[in-house]
Amino acid sequence: MDLIPAPSSAVRRPDEDFPLDATTTLTAPPGLADAERWLRGTLSAATGLPLGPGRPGTGIELVLDGTLAAEAYRITVRPGHALLAAGGPAGALWAAQTLRQLLGPDAYRRSPLRREGWVLPGADVADAPRFGWRGALLDVARHFLPKSDVLRFVDLLAAHKLNVLHLHLTDDQGWRVEIKRYPRLTGRGAWRERSMVGYRSGQRRDDRPHGGYYTQDDLREIVAYAAARGVTVVPEIDLPGHTQAAVAAYPELGNTDVVDTAALGVWTDWGVSHHVLNASEETLRFFEGVLEEVLELFPSEFIHLGGDECPKEQWKDSAAAQARIRELGLANEDELQSHLIRHFDRWLAERGRRLIGWDEILEGGLAPGAAVSSWRGFGGGVAAAEAGHDVVMCPEQHVYLDHRQADGPDEPVPVGFVRTLEDVYRFEPVPVQLDAAAARHVIGTQANLWSEFADSARDVDYRAFPRLVAFAEVAWSELPVEPAERDYPDFERRLRGHLEVLDALGVEYRPMDGPHPWQRRPGVAGRPIGGPPPVR
């Protein structure tokens, strides 16, 4: 049984197979309704079997087991009975995903290729995740993805037992979340005139307007769809930097005494814009209003506020910003940024939520409940964990999936570091210098996919897979913490079989032996010769 991600234990019992047919039933208690509903809908579509309700002790049966942790599960398959015991609803969903994997690649199709011959292999599987936060960032700000593509990405995460979708909703290049009290954020801020093509040639543009946004009902649908599959959606609303789209929509948010923000448009370059928020009380109230609507849409414990890459030039030149620094008794512009982050840290905490931001938010100090996404290597994460803050490890040198997968002329858009499939598999999220107490603050890990050069679901597939499969095993399985001790050849062997699952799901992954032909043409059809890596 070549399961991915690798379970804690799995024993094949070849004489105990369970053939499925039209009489096979599916039963679950009310507390596992999501897992029952998902499993019946998925397997009935793939197999053509009705999987009607049955009685305990027969058919496919989901049960709660209070001796197991919430995301842990056990599967026991014997003739006539497949018992899926879980510690909670999440564990039942992961058990259901494993059961589908046991049935083989055809169980991932949306319509039956055959109506007989479905057999669950006799087996004993026991499993539980290593980390509670197993995430993937999807950047829909640089290039908008329609809602259907986001829902599909949720399904791909859940299929690999990843349980957090970090949705990067706002940036200099676009604002993607409807805020009813500020309609220009999407009416103006969701659209840019054109986009950069590559980095080296600043004159090269695609000359097509680009944009789009999610209505509040779209986002409620995404959140509910994800929750029913065990995935939490964590929104990111960037501030005080990465905000040119917001300033273009509402010029009073910018530093109006040093730049004519009324003439500003949504940014058409990649990188980091110098147009940042001003630090006035009015701007704080504006974003409190934004976040009030965000909290209503997203029930997640964590709300990501970015906090990274905030250029200070405008604040240095702004008389209003300098007056604000003096009014607040701050030393400099860096402390002004920290003031803004700490304000929203407190604001979220008062509403029972927790701020999470990129590791720059450590500068100036944080409230005890705030958490850090460590992206500039491990240093920020180490400092945060040692200071008692929870950390999600996502260092760009290891798990930025927009970075190229090989160092060859055929690879599209040679952005950033070369990170091969094996590199990702050998990534260890917990730094060796952390003692046991600090290491417990590493609550998880995340792979990030920025979309400067991913303008479609097809491009997202190519950059994410199969590396996201390797990352999923790193996040879920109890692998050796010493990267060199990991059995990459065994993973690669299992992955080659798992590619049939990706095929059945319609994923346009990068082939193991190199790019697709449609990806081997840099400079053609919007796939440019690249240049320096993006700043983030």
Active site residues: 171, 242, 309
Q: How far is CA 486 from the centre of its chain?
A: 24
Q: Return the H-helix or E-strand segment holding 134.
A: strand 133-139
CA dist 350 and 369 (Å) reads 11
Token pair for 79: 């003739």
Closest by CA position to 253, among listed 273, 274, 277: 277
Pairing of strands 73-78, 123-127: antiparallel
8 Å CB contact between 494 and 444 = no
8 Å CB contact between 530 and 418 = no
Compute the half-sphere exposure of residue 253: CA atoms within 13 Å on the CB side of its CA. Answer: 26
C-alpha torsion 330→332→338→344, nearest 10: 60
Q: Please give the angle made by the CA atoms of 484, 489 and 493, to the nearest 5 degrees.
A: 150
Q: 309 in the Ramachandran plot: left (φ > 0), alpha (ψ -120 to 50) or beta?
A: left
| Residues present in the chain in total | 536
Pairing of strands 18-19, 191-192: unpaired
CA dist 148 and 225 (Å) reads 11
Contacts of residue 360, defined as CB under 8 A and 6 or more positions apart, other chains included, come to 307, 308, 309, 310, 337, 380
CA dist 247 and 260 (Å) reads 11
Helix, strand, coil percentages in the chain from 3-state DSSP, rounded to 5: 35, 20, 45
Residue type at position 93: L
Pairing of strands 73-78, 81-86: antiparallel
What are the φ/ψ torsions at residue 361 (nearest 5 degrees)? -70, -10
* For residue 517, cis peptide bond before it (omega within 30 degrees of 0): no
Q: What is the DSSP letter of 524?
A: B
Closest by CA position to 121, among listed 79, 91, 161, 93: 79
Place of tokens 């200071």: 387
8 Å CB contact between 119 and 99 = no
Token pair for 426: 């050998």
